[in-house]
Chain A
Amino acid sequence: QVQLVQSGVEVKRPGASAKVSCKASGYTFTNFAITWVRQAPGQGLEWMGWISVFTGDTKYGQKIQGRATMTTDTSTRTAYLELRSLRSDDTAIYFCARENNNGWYFDLWGQGTLVTVSS
């Protein structure tokens, strides 16, 4: 079954780090990039960045540049998003999504991971 399955809920203190995982199955993992998108409560979708699984190249959005690291482990077919120095406005559902090779659209999504930042 073609799917992306993400890790579970995280609750963090301000200033801490969070690491969300996204495990792919049912397709050739290295053939597609993975994009990360977040959605704050009651808000719209925010593109965070992408990683080429094949090359490891990354591109980050301006808002999280310097605080986020995207990586992949091809042996376990898993992508990771680490976000550091967490703030309350990082509270959101974090989605991973597969980027189609024909350009900037996302044809397969994970179920989302809620990260709550609270003191």
Chain B
Amino acid sequence: SSELTQDPAVSVALGQTVRITCQGDSLRSYSANWYQQKPRQAPLLVIYHTSNRPSGIPDRFSGSSSGNTASLTITGAQAEDEADYYCNSRDSSGDYVFGTGTKVTVL
């Protein structure tokens, strides 16, 4: 099955911009989705199919993709954005896969 690789941790100053990346060969063919997970909570979908925001997700969350890399950008990070973030996609066999996860710390 395919793999999706993320940086383990990033930090961002309050109000600044942070970009989280997700790399994998399957991203050349299939779009990425992004989830936010806070401690002791279920994941929450924040971006689907590369760049679409579900209803209720603040517009400071945006997504993009190029080649084998998908990105989630938080513009003007807030304290409540501190969480783990996971990408997910699928491969050609129909298996789904999650990225390794990125812990975002807001300073």
Contact = CB atoms under 8 A, between A and B. Distances in A.
B78 to A, nearest CB: 22
Interface of A: 35, 37, 44-47, 50, 59, 61-62, 95, 97, 100, 102-107, 109-112
Interface in B21-45: 30-31, 33, 35, 37, 42-45
A37 to B, nearest CB: 7
A23 to B, nearest CB: 15
On chain B, which size bracket covers the interface? 20 to 34
Contacts of A109: 42-44
Contact of A45 (B48, B86, B89, B94): B86
Interface string B9-23: 000000000000000
Given A44-B86, A47-B88, A62-B1, A107 B96 contact: no
B25 to A, nearest CB: 16
Contacts of B88: 45, 47, 104-106
Nearest to B96: A47
- Greatest chain B CB density within 10 A among A44, A104, A107 is at A104
Contacts of A110: 42
Contacts of B43: 37, 45, 95, 97, 106, 109
A44 B45 contact: no
